[in-house]
Structure 1
């Protein structure tokens, strides 16, 4: 299993905490990496693919502690993912440096709702340049938190935007959103990856998200769980096909 930036931020925040973060299901003994019950741990199945894109997660105050978080699934899938804690008055210098780095083409993945925001929306072809690495920037938090972070972060408001308007609402039922039309962070990332020409990464994240959602709900369930884990089976079938195709290419 690959340890990435989200795991490091989680451990850092744990060391800083003066009191435990009490989430639903706090009595469950969870894996510290995939955050489902240890008996259902998914870590051995983490995606292992290469992409031509990078990602950045800007995480709201307590999002890193929430077992239902899906931003970590992006870091599971896109190896070049940096993860930063959001601070209103003292943005991380490393984060600002990466956004300004000439080797990247940063774009904020965020639902544009106002006229001003819609004017910043770009298409994939307009920002994906051969000589630059597309850097997909996600605000990882609830819709209310993400809006607040965007309003209070001038460095985000200066970025071009990609805005997803899905045909169907989210089926992410682990944590109810204040606005049901918005997708989970991992769902949005999967759609964006498809749009910018990364279909294998998009598929990996789609199947991985469904496997995580299924396992997370099994962790929460007080009834009889479906031990067959069909979504995990679908993910593993996809992973086997992908590995076979890659082996033939080499």
Structure 2
């Protein structure tokens, strides 16, 4: 029998986050390209973002065909478009100066899956790549990462948006994320909690 889900936040009733959600306004539209393996993942941080940002879109897929509509829409855009992905060609996000609203693309998946998304969608390389240096370790205590600079997709999106918009207050986003982690920890068996 399926466990009851909150109709508003879409989390389990016993892990409801409605009291921790408030929408943050952003001049930048966030587009999440989500690898299919992340969709049903219990620790998926991206599912919080539609409850926390006024301009966010999540598109699930892997191949260029999966993202054909998104690609066509982005290619028709007049706003500046940025890809948050560290590379030799990427620039520090805080150094970007723009005078109009833009779009920030974030790839959601493990480092390996994000790289796969990029390889299957080389059209993304036509956009300016951005990176930023995390000021603190990830708050994502319930998911193991292979790299010390790894952040959850939610954290990467929040810090990327803030780097482009220094006036943006991302505390409500991070507070909701912390609440999600605490809720999951509370409902884990003790032997599982011990790993984190």
TM-score greater than 0.5 by the shorter chain = yes
Change beyond 3 A, Cα 1:150–1:30: farther
1:9-28, aligned counterparts within 5 Å?
A: none
- Equivalent-residue separation in structure 2 for 1:72 and 1:40 (angstroms): 14
Give the superposed CA RMSD: 2.7
* Mapped contact 2:139–2:178 kept (Cα < 8 A): no
Q: Do structure 1's residue 206 and structure 2's residue 174 form an aligned pair?
A: yes
Q: Deviations over 1:166-220 (max 9, x none)?
A: 2433231211122232111111122222222254442221212111111122222
- Equivalent-residue separation in structure 1 for 2:130 and 2:27 (angstroms): 18
User: How far does residue 69 in structure 1 lie from its aligned partner after superposition?
Assistant: 0.7
User: How far does residue 141 in structure 1 lie from its aligned partner after superposition?
Assistant: 0.8
- Equivalent-residue separation in structure 2 for 1:122 and 1:191 (angstroms): 12
Q: Do structure 1's residue 151 and structure 2's residue 119 form an aligned pair?
A: yes
Gaps in structure 2 of 5+ consecutive residues:
none
| Match 1:170 to one of 131, 135, 138 | 138
Q: Do structure 1's residue 31 and structure 2's residue 5 form an aligned pair?
A: yes
User: How far does residue 56 in structure 1 lie from its aligned partner after superposition?
Assistant: 0.4
- Equivalent-residue separation in structure 2 for 1:164 and 1:35 (angstroms): 31
2:187 match: secondary structure: helix
Change beyond 3 A, Cα 1:166–1:218: same
Change beyond 3 A, Cα 1:195–1:51: same
1:87-102, aligned counterparts within 5 Å?
A: 87-102=62-77
| Match 2:17 to one of 32, 36, 42 | 42
How many matched pairs? 191
User: How far does residue 221 in structure 1 lie from its aligned partner after superposition?
Assistant: 4.0
| Match 1:119 to one of 89, 110, 126 | 89
1:139 match: secondary structure: strand
| 2:110 alignment partner in structure 1 | 142
* Mapped contact 1:190–1:203 kept (Cα < 8 A): no
| 2:184 alignment partner in structure 1 | 216
2:63 match: secondary structure: coil
Q: Which runs of 4+ in 1 moved over 3 A?
A: 32-37, 122-127, 198-201
- Equivalent-residue separation in structure 2 for 1:41 and 1:151 (angstroms): 37
- Equivalent-residue separation in structure 2 for 1:167 and 1:51 (angstroms): 21
Change beyond 3 A, Cα 1:184–1:30: farther
TM-score, normalisation: structure 2: 0.83
1:136 match: secondary structure: strand
Q: Larger radius of gyration, structure 1 or 2? A: 1
1:62 match: secondary structure: helix
* Mapped contact 1:111–1:163 kept (Cα < 8 A): yes
